A = this chain, B = another copy of it.
Amino acid sequence: MPECALCPVRDSAACAVLEDDEREELARSGRNLTARRGETVFAAGEENTVCATLISGALKVRSIDPDGRERILALVHPAGFVGEMFAPFASHDIVALTETRLCVFGRGAMDRAIADHPALARALLRRSEAALHESRSLLEMTAQSRAEARLAALLLDFAAAASHSPCHGTERFDLPLSRGDIANLLGLTIETVSRKLGAFETEGLIRRDGRRGIELLDPARLSHIAGR
């Protein structure tokens, strides 16, 4: 049984704009769902009967092209919204990157809630616009022709996301993605990602600590490499 009062994203998710009782009612229409790392939460092609808010963990939105290559189209973080309100069938796979908890709503109930609560429609519109902006940022990042530029930009993005202060990133953080996921996100190969990270370390731009740990030693030069 979902307990909105205890929900860690109760103030930041789209449903935060609802009154407590309205929110509880919406929650009753759905269920909680957990997924383990690597599990496909929703699969492309499935009928779109639900949508969801991510409570904890992380998701990737991906597509698989005909020759079996994965392409990551977006990452979803806690309080993020998942699902399409209008398409009859899901366009992309949603896969858990870590242990994940979701709050799932039936699409019908969500639709009714939108009609009843203009503020909710506004909140979803805001999230959708943010998602569009992120998608275009990724497009800009992958537009950079040089692999170093894309990777540097991604490292800076992760650093900014890791620290919760909005202005400047942390120097030390853990990569949320494997080499393979990074490669699929940037449109590169695993080998290139590995080599470029090695080169960054050799040049004194970063220090690696295990597989995931990254310390930015020279953020200024990194951001120059990223194209500002």
Contact = CB atoms under 8 A, between A and B. Distances in A.
A140 interface: yes
Interface size bucket, A side? 35 or more
A73 B140 contact: yes
A65 B121 contact: no
Contacts of A86: 125-126, 129-130
B139 A139 contact: yes
Contacts of A129: 84-87, 128
Nearest to A69: B143
Interface string A127-145: 0111111011011101111
- Most chain B beta-carbon contacts within 10 A, residue among A92, A128, A228: A128
Nearest to A228: B66
A187 B145 contact: yes
A194 to B, nearest CB: 18
Contacts of A143: 65, 71, 142, 187
Given A66-B227, A121-B118, A125-B124, A139 B135 contact: yes
Contacts of A142: 139, 142-143, 187
Given A128-B129, A135-B139, A139-B142, 6 more contacts: A65-B143, A67-B227, A85-B125, A118-B118, A125-B128, A132-B135
Interface of A: 61, 63, 65-67, 71, 73-74, 84-87, 91-92, 114-115, 118, 121-122, 124-126, 128-133, 135-136, 138-140, 142-145, 187, 227-228
